[in-house]
Structure 1
Amino acid sequence: MCIFNLHICCSRPRRNAQGYNYAAQLCFMKDECFASCVGVSRSTFEDLMTRISEVTRDTSARRSQEICLRIRLLMTIIYLTSKKVYKDLHNLFGYCEANICRLVCRTINDINLLSTNAIKWPISPESTADEFYEVHQFPGVLGAIDAMHLVSRAPEKMHDEYRNSRGKYTIILLAICDAQKKFTYVSVGYPGTFTDQKCLESTDLGSNLDNIPNDYFPLDKYHLIGSENFQLRDGLMVPFKAHEVNNDQNLDFNERLLKTQSITPSTFVEMRSRFQTLNKLEMSIERVVEFTTACCILHNVCLDNNDHWAGPLITNEDATSLNHPEPEIVAAPASALAKRARLVDQMCQALDS
């Protein structure tokens, strides 16, 4: 069926026989070999084909003269999931490197059209919180937030702003994950000198976190959770600072929160292990934003198809954020302090019952 579809989607299949033949070779492979060569399962790939075809059906001009989506998507995913460069793709597909670059970038844009449906805020706060509670019995969680630094080349402007505390040029991805390790919110493009808190404050979500309508984010019952790199707010619970951990209850609160919040750093590790291009993005800031967003979308589509990463994981040191600058000390709102105290009491009562 794959080969038949390949003929249909390529009105001029012999325009580049090498690219056509390699795509056909992949289609004939067993599922395990396909996943090994492409980096995603066959079901994930076919799902992507369907989704992208639907959103680009009315927007692509001169379809009869375009390289078919199947070849473009194969080319793009292989580029994202491997250490292959455009020269390697030229050897596989036969197109010149300039054309490959253009086709990959175009396909990345097509993938990003899926963002609205692929990365979604939880529909049911209650069921989302229940799933998180099953992890480490931390109540009321709608999402775990964290940030990741992506090493990139030096930007043309504002060099110092993008050089982090390790002296590397980085761009920051801020993300929220659910208990199934799916992204429910992503925002990428912040300079490497930004703290996690500053990244959050730069988003619409962060600036409105304590004023979200109850039907969307009921603050009396629910919240996000984050590490000590974020500031305590009604809508964002963070650990007690070291000098505040003066009893077993506060210590237990911290341990449960951080174990639950670790879902997002773990998701970063898995995403970077599958999409290896994220480990060294030799491209402009604009392209980093586009490629990183596409990888987040692809990660979610993989999970939709039970396509979990089973390969080797890169080390935590390489996958987590690079040395965070100390966040600015700001007094937490009294309402947030009171909410955290109630959570401590609630967790203690649950242990005693």
Structure 2
Amino acid sequence: MISARLLLMFVATTMAQKDFSIDCGIDDWVTVRWRPGLDFSQKVDPSRALLGNCPPRSLVSKDTLLFRALLHDCGFIKQVVAGQVTYSNMLIYERRPGLPFISQSIQCVYDLPVGEESAFSAEEPDVTEGPETFNMEIMNTDFSGPAPSLTFKLGSSIPVRATVEPWSHRPLRIYLESCVFATDADISRATQVHPIIANAGCLMESKAGNSSFLPRQRPDEIRLYLEAFKFALGEKIFLHCDLEAFAVQSLNMDRKACHYVQEQHRWELLDDPSQSYACSCCDSTCLWRTDAMMDGVSARKVLGPFVIVENDSQSSASLDTLSSTERGLGEFPVWLLVVAIVALLVTVMGVLAVSYYLCFWRGGRMGYRPSRDLLTKY
């Protein structure tokens, strides 16, 4: 990708330099070791960590993550200024709910050989794109057209479709290599980030919730339902995805679309469930070949913004339309209801007691009159 022969320097902007190291190689690879610096009560969870939009390769110790990636992958941003080419990215660790995520920016800066600067633009796309056209959009529930609204209630489904249009007549099969939710169209500025698809095609949210791929209608299209979960409620959300397309051929570990089947407690390969062994790495770390893209094309797409809202906030308007009787019944205090029931029972018991006294006890003896004759006879 680059032919720079001299590694000028690397810069790593972190909150704690001792917890971070980076090796910017001259072979287009970057290796990062990162200790997020969690509390003693928290264990490092690799599934919560990302380099751009790529998961770590491994956990090299109980608290240190290892990333290894190509500089044209994982969302690296490339800039060429004054004879130098800079690759920038962001390390992100999502802590437990309620706590802010941890982030650290990284940079690799190379010196360009004389005469090669003209080969680079001021900001070159960070993925390999061919003449093929990639598209991604949010659809309505039956995928017959665009979504009528980009506001989704918590727990509802967000239908997403991605397609590729080949330049030539060769058939292509499209995949989603990785996707993340972020609160900004520029992932480096996002205040919250959450992985959706990772490990080279594993739909992680299908195990955490009700997200799933849908059966393919054709090779150059892929559809999925994403469950609207508690992420940045009420804020603008963007879906960042790396898309890939390959000539239709036999499947392998590098080209897969896997989702978790909750009922069967297992990962399943979308295109051929009989070869679901290709998804066996989804719960750990999937390794892929460095030449995986040699016969394919890729692109990065950002979808949004859309908004996820709680059901209560959506129904508040409908509450205002209730009649006063309905509102009064709905807001009736429980303690007052209990008091009313007790008073009713006491009243019923009192009525029964009075009735018994009048009808049976006193009423049965009303005709009784002691005879004076009987009293004075003896």
Q: After TM superposition, is the score higher than 0.5? A: no
TM-score (norm 1): 0.27
Which one has more relative contact order, counting CA pairs under 8 Å at least 6 apart? Answer: 1
Structure with max Cα Rg: 2
Structure (1 or 2) with the greater strand fraction: 2
